[in-house]
Structure 1
Amino acid sequence: MMRVVILGCGGSAGVPQLGGEDGRGDWGACDPSEPRNQRTRSSILIEQDGRRLLIDTGPDLRAQLLATGIAGIDAVLFTHAHADHITGLDDVRILNRLTGKPIDAYGSPKTIEELTLRFDYAFRPWKPPGFYRPVLVPHQVAAGQDLTIAGFPVTLLDQDHGYVRSLGLRIGRFAYSTDVVAMDAEVLDRLKGIDTWVVGCFQRQKHATHAHIALVAQWAARIGVRRTVLTHMGYDLDWAWMQANLPPGLEPGFDGMEIHPAS
């Protein structure tokens, strides 16, 4: 059975954001006494039959893996190259040590280009023994492509993230779509038949680069998905408020949440 772990479900600044009256965090509309309102930057891990695929390496990666007891991966897929999705990349060196091998890294040509510019040392050829730095093997992929990553049959989806494109993915009856504000009809059609969808929803009202509640509900209805779990949520979205007010079929994710999609 496939297991999906939401490592983090927060927006680019996390929840709480830096600041607040006492300097200990700005919670916005979120109740600080609710643990599920504390959100690290968005990332998931997909696991089945001992194989693990990590989606993005945000700045909270180390803490996320420790909190969920994950001590190894087989590959990483980058949705795009924004800082909140890549700046934990250096922690991959410990994963290299734990697995004893270089790790395959997948992303669009633009994303791989950005990664090799910012983390050039991670993409140099490995000279064994040891991993004093991360060692990633780059693979350029494209939206619309069907391929196998770490043994998973992955369909890559094109997403409009406002000023850039991002990659969504489908594996069987599960799909993940973070950092998206628009999807064309073809992509929505490729999502039909899924059972569970983890999708970015930044706030209650419209946003220039991220989907909001009404838009996600519209997409979910068109796809016909049974369960829609929100991620990449900002401090506008309080857990209890969402539990009481989200449309049927939608629910908030939380850091450490485990999902077992129908096969």
Structure 2
Amino acid sequence: MRVTLLGTGGSAGVPMIGGVDGRGEWGVCDPREPRNIRTRASIAVDANHSGDGQGGVLLVDTPPDMRTQLLSCGISRVEAVLYTHAHADHITGLDDIRLLNRVIGRPLDALGTQATLDELMHRFSYAFRPWQPPGFFRPVLVARPIQPCGSVTAAGLTIHVFDQDHGFGRSLGLRIGGFGYSTDVVSLDEAGFAALEGVDTWVVGCFQRTPHRTHGWLPRVLEWVERLRPRRTVLTHMGVDMDWDWLRANLPAGVEPGHDGQVLEIDG
């Protein structure tokens, strides 16, 4: 299985719009380090381990940067999309799914909790109308509601999902074999820790170094890592407080900052 980190940034990306010259607000991130350039958080999971995006690919979320992300990573064929939650930075690239529809020649399954799908159908109602062959002048999605805990099959993968606390809302975490994905989470309950028990490679959201109301921050995430002890932990959903070189120099062994376009090879 191959996991591609399509985007590793927070809701505003890095750099954020602004800055004294109008070219971006970088915070403590060094603009000379290309791995500090972060688009909004998303991953693609290739069940076939081919790495060419030609089949069995699960897309997790459709951020506003989705088009650029897929082109940059050479992924053109997606079998299904799973939504972790319905915040704007995770859904507003949805219209570009029409191009993915054209590649596979059929509607695309959209998985998420009923609450997430209800929000998507409210904001993108046109995408959930029945397909009118032969073309795709609009995205066509088929809603597949899933429970916030349990298992589902999509894109040739068995996916175990679990509920996460996102401060003012909820999100879904994923476990696929030895791989775990936990973005947009501020605390994990015992069910979440149980779902992640024995995880080998864990991609986890870590927005900044100081406490935050809705996202994991560095000391808290490292506490989770100490409890779960994955072989490899990769940080994602990082803001302008998370300089790549500083993180590489200061994180404990087995923990690293992710970067856009990074590919993880997963056994099992």
CA distance in 2 between counterparts of 1:42 and 1:197 reads: 15
Structure 2 gap ranges (5+): 49-54
Partner AA of 1:180 in structure 2: V
* Counterpart residue type for residue 8 of structure 1: G
Match for residue 95 of structure 1 among 100, 109, 112? 100
Give 1:164's aligned residue: 169
1:180, distance to aligned residue in structure 2 (A): 0.1
My pick for the range that moved more, 144-153 or 163-172, is 144-153
Aligned partners of 2:244 and 2:188: how far apart in 1? 26
Whole-angstrom CA distance in 1 between matches of 2:131 and 2:191: 40
Q: Residue 143 of structure 1 contacts residue 158 of structure 1 at CA under 8 Å; is this kept in 2?
A: yes
Which amino acid is the alignment partner of residue 204 of structure 1? R
Asked if the contact 1:44–1:54 (Cα under 8 Å) also holds between the matched residues in 2, the reply is yes
Match for residue 10 of structure 2?
A: 11
What corresponds to 1:57 in structure 2? Answer: 62
Structure 2 Cα separation of the partners of residues 115 and 189 of structure 1: 29
> Whole-Å Cα distance in 1 between the matches of residues 195 and 116 of structure 2?
23
CA–CA distance in structure 2, aligned partners of residues 86 and 126 of structure 1: 21
Which secondary structure state, in structure 1, belongs to the residue aligned with residue 233 of structure 2? strand
Question: 1:247: how far off?
Answer: 2.3
Aligned partners of 1:159, 1:229: CA distance in 2, in Å? 18
Runs of 4 or more, structure 1, over 4 Å off, are none
Match for residue 152 of structure 2?
A: 147
- Tell me the TM-score normalised to structure 2 length: 0.96
CA deviation map 1:11-32 (0-9, x unaligned)? 0000000000100000000000
Gaps of 5+ in 1: none
Question: Contact between 2:162 and 2:191, CA under 8 Å: does it hold in 1?
Answer: no
Q: Where do residues 26-175 of structure 1 align in structure 2 (5 Å cutoff)?
A: 26-49=25-48, 50-175=55-180
Using the alignment, how far apart are the partners of 2:125 and 2:149 within structure 1?
Answer: 27
Q: How many residues align?
A: 262
How far does residue 153 in structure 1 lie from its aligned partner after superposition? Answer: 0.6
Match of 1:155, SS state, is strand
C-alpha root-mean-square deviation of aligned residues, in Å?
0.7
- Report deviation, 1:257: 0.1
TM-score of the pair, normalised by structure 1: 0.98
1:111 and 1:262 map into 2 onto residues whose CA distance is: 30
Equivalent of 1:230 in 229, 232, 235: 235
* % identical aligned pairs: 59
